[in-house]
Amino acid sequence: MKLILLFAILTTSLAALKILIFNPAFGYSQSRFMGVIADVLSEAGHDFTEIRPTIDTRLLDKWVSNTQKVLRFPVHPEVDSIMTDFYGPDGFMGLMWTMDLGPDKAQVLAVNMTEMFTRACDHLVLETDLFEQLKKEKFDVGLSESFDNCGHGIFEGIKLKNVITTSSMPVMDHQALLLGIPRVPSYVPGTQAPFSDQMSIGQRAFNTLMSHYGAQMFLDMAEKQTKAFRRKFGGDFPEIQDLISSSAMLFTNAQPFLDFPRPTIHKVVDLGGIHINETVVDENKDFDKILSRKPKTVLISFGSVAKSYLMPDSYKKSIITAVKSLPDVQFIWKYEEDDLKSWDLPENLYLSKWVPQASLLADPRLKLFVTHGGLASVTEVAYSGMPAIVVPLFADQPRNAYMIARQQSAEVFSKFDLDKPEKFAAVIRKILVDSRYQEKATFLSELLKNSPFTPKELLLRNVEFVARFGALPQLDPYARHLTFVHVPGSRPSGESRTYRAQDGAPQLTPCMMRRPFVCFAYDALNKPYPKFPPNEIPEKTQKAC
């Protein structure tokens, strides 16, 4: 018996990989997804080192391993100032309750995000001893989110070639562009698109615009972050865009049976639901009496980032009025401050600064979840078999809302209607009365829980595969080398292939918007392109295409 145990220990030790993870303290979704990945790898016996630069001090100790090596770097003052303004009542977090996040607002937000991540990367690369700490290590695999592209540059700086890109969302627009994944805005909602997969012609045009803006933000960021690495390592340091393109695989937080179907490539591995625990710890002791007050209980929570106390008073009054109109239903509202204590609150409303969300979703006395639509919460509610009302606020939340509504187990409710108590009460009443929502939610839960492969299995097998076989050019589609109009063999020597791959993206929208003409690229059998007489192509189309 002792010999068997010793053999098992030695086998595990020999098989253990050295993994480097870039996980900046920014964004609950990003930090949590990478933290769960790290935990799963650690539980499997692998050794990892986590690079943890601080961008948001609120997440300093969130989802960080207690058993593995963590390289922490303090926040830069300029970055901290941007984040302080971002979270303030007059910043984005305060305004998002009433802000219409169209392409113009997305562009402003993109500029601020690019500045913040660029400055953080400059600080990490040029002003810390990071590379001195890493140069003696020999890592087998590196994993990095490309929400902040700096990790890919760091991996290249230490000559770590076996790299996996991750996304705490489904495939992001810039990732699709750089990896050669087909982008189909006619029926695949972009990362921040407020639509389902069934769009009108106007919505398709808007989806195309938003997809372009979303991709361009990260491409611009990668271009600016490349400059820091070239200052440190020389002008021949590769473009970060190219480094992302050459990733062996892309791990996403999508769940195939929940997400919108889309064309994909073999290097994409969906790990949605990896944060879901098979057994939920019962943390409902403090809520037990509250859950038993009424026949049905509704949970209202807008997540960890969006604060209910920052919503307009008109929204708060409307929610309270809606609760009063449903006296036979108990409500639990995650509310972070004490300012409502002086208000006339109904007896069926319980306010709490913290709620055990996963535990409550597993309690049969809870009948409905009102959520902001963060991907983690939407995935949790889908696995739990709970009907939902999704009130999306910003970023990918509108997309997530329509994603689960497509399963017929949830309704989408506009944040701009939160000041209409009758409308809010009506949709709550509708779901509580109509049993079809619960039936669809139960079916979805069974579907997800019985998927052929678990996310943890997919993670471990693919990380170990990349460690053994490397960058896997066999999975690299030639599509990522194509330009908008591609001439075979025409790319100048040494030119960035991914920069060329995005050339057509900014031109597509002007072409569509100026005239109802379709721009065609002729690339058949490597034959020369036909020359059209100038008078056959409208002048505006020539300029656009």
Kindly state whether residues 54 and 148 are assigned to the same domain.
yes
- The residue assigned the tokens 């309690």 is 363
- pLDDT confidence of 516, banded at 50, 70, 90? very low
* Runs of H (alpha helix) within 143-239: 150-157, 173-179, 201-233
DSSP 299: E
Q: How far is CA 24 from the centre of its chain?
A: 14
Kindly state whether residues 165 and 290 are assigned to the same domain.
no
* pLDDT at site 306: 87
- pLDDT confidence of 60, banded at 50, 70, 90? confident
Kindly state whether residues 433 and 330 are assigned to the same domain.
yes
Residue 4 inside a domain? The answer is: no
From 430, 449, 468, give the residue that closes a domain: 449
Kindly state whether residues 56 and 142 are assigned to the same domain.
yes
Query: Do the Cβ atoms of 142 and 91 come closer than 8 Å?
Result: no
Owning domain of residue 512: 482-544
| Whole-number Å distance between alpha carbons of 454 and 50 | 24
Residues 6+ apart with CB under 8 A from 28: 59, 62, 303, 304, 305, 374, 376
Kindly state whether residues 289 and 243 are assigned to the same domain.
no
Higher per-residue pLDDT: 28 or 202? 202
Kindly state whether residues 341 and 255 are assigned to the same domain.
no
Residue 137 inside a domain? The answer is: yes
pTM of the predicted protein model: 0.86
DSSP 421: H
CATH for 223: 3.40.50.2000
| Whole-number Å distance between alpha carbons of 501 and 478 | 11
Query: Do the Cβ atoms of 389 and 431 come closer than 8 Å?
Result: yes
Kindly state whether residues 245 and 323 are assigned to the same domain.
no
- Comparing 12-26, 43-57, 114-128, which segment has the lowest mean pLDDT? 12-26
User: Whose CA is closest to 308, among 283, 287, 290, 333?
Assistant: 333
* Whether the predicted pLDDT of 319 surpasses 80: yes
Residues 6+ apart with CB under 8 A from 514: 540, 541, 544
Kindly state whether residues 240 and 305 are assigned to the same domain.
no
Strands (DSSP E) contained in 455-512 are none
pLDDT in tens, 218-227: 999 999 999 9
Kindly state whether residues 261 and 364 are assigned to the same domain.
no
Please provide residue 296's backbone torsions phi and psi, each rounded to the nearest 5 degrees: -135, 145
Q: How many domains does the chain have?
A: 3
From 231, 246, 270, give the residue that closes a domain: 270
Kindly state whether residues 252 and 294 are assigned to the same domain.
no
Mean pLDDT score across all residues of the chain: 85
Residues 6+ apart with CB under 8 A from 264: 171, 181, 182
- Comparing 279-283, 322-326, 352-356, 434-438, which segment has the lowest mean pLDDT? 279-283
Kindly state whether residues 177 and 33 are assigned to the same domain.
yes
Kindly state whether residues 354 and 304 are assigned to the same domain.
yes
